[in-house]
Amino acid sequence: MKFLFSMLMIFSTIAHSGMIKITYTQKNKSNAIHILKRFEQKYSIPSELIILKKVESCISRDKRFLELCINTKGELIELSNHNLKSITNSLKVFKKKVKNEN
């Protein structure tokens, strides 16, 4: 029982990790994947820091993270975040540095 409880604890914490949460409603999965790839390719953000999840409605679930949601109209919404600047600053470290050829 103790083991099951600890396992549940571990999985519940893992489910909430990740700095960018891209959520989508209804049939917007392809658009959400497109956004995810954009983060990975353009900003070189490690895939383990991005979470893709289907939700019923666009509501902020953890204000520590950068939460993006594609609503039923297909619009991309940035959910409220008190930590947005510090998150974007901390993610800049992953961007590939362009080597000066000169």
Partner 1 sequence: MKTNYFLSGCTANFGVDPWFSLACFLLAPIFFFFSFLWIRVCVVLEAISKSLSCLINYKYKEIFLTFVVILVKVFILLTPCDAISATASKDIILSKGEQTQLTIGKLKNFSVGNKEVIKYKYRQASNEILISAKSMGYSDLVAWKTNGEKLTFHIYVTSKREQLKKMEIIQVLKNTNLKTEISGDLIYVSGEVNSEKEYLIIKQIESTKNPKLILNVQLSHSIIQKLIGTIYKEFYEQGFDSVSCEYIKTNIFCDYQGGSDKHPIVKKFEHLYRVSFKGHSVQDSPSNLKVRFHIVSLESINGTNRSMGINRIQSNLASAIKSDGAELETGDILFKDSHMKAKLLAKPEIQTTLDNKFQLQLGSEVPVESRDGEHTTTTWKFYGLKLSGILTLKHNKLLLNHSAEFTQLRGEGHSGPKGKSSIYIDFGSQAKLFTILMEMSNQDSASIPGLSRIPLFKHLFQEQSTYFSKKEIHVFATILKE
Q: Which two tokens stand for residue 28?
A: 């917007």
- Decide: 31 and 74 in contact? Cβ < 8 Å: yes
Q: List alpha helices for 48-92, DSSP H.
A: 84-91
Measured from the CB atom, the residue of 18 and 28 that comes closer to partner 1 is 18
CA atoms within 13 A on the CB side of 95: 9
Q: How far is the CB of 27 from partner 1 (least distance, A)?
A: 30
Q: How far is the CB of 100 from partner 1 (least distance, A)?
A: 13
Residues forming contacts to partner 1 in the complex (CB under 8 A) are 13-14, 16-19, 44, 46, 48-49, 64-65, 82-87, 89-90, 93-94, 96-97
